[in-house]
Amino acid sequence: MRQSKLFTKTRKEAPADETSRNAQLLIRAGYVYKVMAGVYAYTPLGLRVLENIKQIVREEMNAVGGQELIMTSLQPKEVWEGTGRWSEEVVDVWFKTKLQDETELGLAWSHEEAIMSMMAGYVSSYKDLPISVYQFQTKLRNELRAKSGIMRGREFVMKDMYSLHATKEDMDSYYDKVTEAYKKIYQRLGVGDDTFVTFASGGAFTKFSHEFQTLCEAGEDVLYINRDKTVAVNEEVLDAATAEIGISKEELSPTKTAEVGNIFKFGTEKGEQMHVTFKDSDGNDKPIYLASYGIGITRVMGVIVEKFSDEKGIVWPDAVSPFAIHLVALNTDDAEIKDWAEGVYEGLKAAGVEVLFDDRDARAGEKFADSDLLGIPYRAVVSKKGKENGVFEVVNRHTGEIRMLSEAELYADFATSSGA
């Protein structure tokens, strides 16, 4: 992609009302556009990052047999009344609306009830189970506070998966499998070493759910972890969880984190409340077991920016970077250099490398500042001096390491590393 063709422009200042670091950087670099508090649009650049995150999640969900679908944002009230979750005392983030004939509707904040209602029409026998479905969907939540940038949106992208089972054993073993898939996801996203499987509040069926919490100063949660980082407990359930695992609170210390995922066993609760049943092998009606598995896709993007940025801008982990390489052309007033840069751009594209090409007529200082702000992890500079020696200066934004590569080396290096 040519930078001269991007409609987004970098900005020196973030909007005055934007207090969170992730949104400040993302807005300044042109990845997101702030529509209002808690509501952000994703530009072509931002969408590339989101799609990279989604693709990693998609691959791991497919690997555990998940089937992708997409549910609706408009939800009938009756489906939620059956489980008591239409009530605003139970769910305090509902956006609700009405049809012209006054019929009340809910705007989807989650989809457990929606999935169960749909599956009632498809599942009749134990032979139809298990089923595992997932989606990437825009959730709408009327959050009280929206001060964490894209980490807490009133409109945000979630990956939510739902698994339906005939037995508790089957649900339990699938839940463990998904837990492992989640660990792989956070590892691939570059935050694995700082992400903990955490005891968190459960529900009617289990005492605890499991949250995936990532160390992050800008996070809104407090986690208690022990020194060797094998135990992590959300402060919301500190007393109950420490009693359960037989560890004293003194062995755990508090740390700020962001909840990047939450997995949950509903057991037969929804199946019973909503009368969603199947016939077992003896022909008896049994309620379906349900578990649900969320990942905050846009929140993860915010957490990544919080963790991987410096005073100059963002430093994307390779796997989620919008481009594998930033090709920055200097001295383009010289026709020969310009031609060379154009040729390298075409060469990289032909080698299958995702490349952002700064082909603008701008000063070197401005180009470097923009490049640092955008945060593509590798920058290859085309310059007069480089051309004389037939090399490009390639800077690694993670380490600051500088390498001088020939054109052939550049293609070889990035054609292999840009597979993500």
Residues that bind Mg ion (CB under 5 A): 262
Confirm or reject binding of residue 152 to ligand ATP (CB under 6 A). Answer: yes
Q: How far is the CB of 49 from ligand ATP (least distance, A)?
A: 15
Helix axes 407-417, 335-350, angle to 10 degrees: 30
**Integer Cα distance of 24 and 22 in angstroms:** 6
Confirm or reject binding of residue 158 to ligand ATP (CB under 6 A). Answer: yes
Residues shown for the chain? 420
Measured from each CB, the residue nearest to Mg ion is 262
Instruction: State which residue, 160 or 354, has the beta carbon closest to ligand ATP.
Output: 160
Instruction: State which residue, 152 or 326, has the beta carbon closest to ligand ATP.
Output: 152
| The entry of Mg ion, ligand ATP, none that residue 85 binds, CB within 5 to 8 Å by partner kind | none
Measured from each CB, the residue nearest to ligand ATP is 296
Instruction: State which residue, 232 or 395, has the beta carbon closest to Mg ion.
Output: 232
Q: Which residues pair with 291 in a beta bridge?
A: 163, 265
Q: How far is the CB of 262 from Mg ion (least distance, A)?
A: 3
Q: How far is the CB of 300 from ligand ATP (least distance, A)?
A: 7
- Which of 153, 267, 271, 377 touches ligand ATP (CB under 6 A)? 153
Q: Which of residues 276-305 bind ligand ATP (CB under 6 A)?
A: 294, 296, 298-299
Q: Cβ of 257: how many Cβ atoms within 10 Å?
A: 27
Q: Which of residues 105-124 bind ligand ATP (CB under 6 A)?
A: 110
Instruction: State which residue, 3 or 110, has the beta carbon closest to ligand ATP.
Output: 110
Q: How far is the CB of 296 from Mg ion (least distance, A)?
A: 9
Q: How far is the CB of 259 from Mg ion (least distance, A)?
A: 6
**Binding mask of the shown chain, residues 241 to 270, with x at each position contacting ligand ATP by CB under 6 A:** ------------------xxxx--------
- Which of 85, 141, 188, 367 touches ligand ATP (CB under 6 A)? 141
Confirm or reject binding of residue 143 to ligand ATP (CB under 6 A). Answer: yes
| The entry of Mg ion, ligand ATP, none that residue 112 binds, CB within 5 to 8 Å by partner kind | none
Confirm or reject binding of residue 210 to ligand ATP (CB under 6 A). Answer: no
Q: How far is the CB of 360 from ligand ATP (least distance, A)?
A: 34
| The entry of Mg ion, ligand ATP, none that residue 52 binds, CB within 5 to 8 Å by partner kind | none
| The entry of Mg ion, ligand ATP, none that residue 137 binds, CB within 5 to 8 Å by partner kind | none
Interface stretch with ligand ATP, choices 149-157, 366-374, 382-390, 402-410 (CB under 6 A)? 149-157
Q: How far is the CB of 32 from ligand ATP (least distance, A)?
A: 13
Q: Which of residues 26-85 bind ligand ATP (CB under 6 A)?
A: none
SS3 per-residue string spanning the chain: CEHHHCCCCCCCCCCCCCCCHHHHHHHHHCCEEEEECCEEEECHHHHHHHHHHHHHHHHHHHHCCCEECCCCCEEEHHHHHCCCCCCCCCCCCCEEEECCCCCEEEECCCCHHHHHHHHCCCCCEHHHCCEEEEEEEEEECCCCCCCCHHHCCCEEEEEEEEEEECCHHHHHHHHHHHHHHHHHHHHHCCCHHHEEEEEEECCCCCCEEEEEEEECCCCCEEEEECCCCCCEEEHHHHHHHHHHHCCCHHHCEEEEEEEEEEEEEEECHHHHHHCCEEECCCCCEEECEEEEEEEEHHHHHHHHHHHCEECCEECCCCCCCCCCEEEEECCCCCHHHHHHHHHHHHHHHHCCCCEEEECCCCCHHHHHHHHHHHCCCEEEEECHHHHHHCCEEEEECCCCCEEEECHHHHHHHHHHHCCC
Q: How far is the CB of 66 from Mg ion (least distance, A)?
A: 19
Confirm or reject binding of residue 195 to ligand ATP (CB under 6 A). Answer: no
| Contact of 133 with 162, CB cutoff 8 Å | yes
Q: Provide the binding-site residues for ligand ATP, judged by CB under 6 A.
A: 110, 141, 143, 152-153, 156, 158, 259-262, 294, 296, 298-299
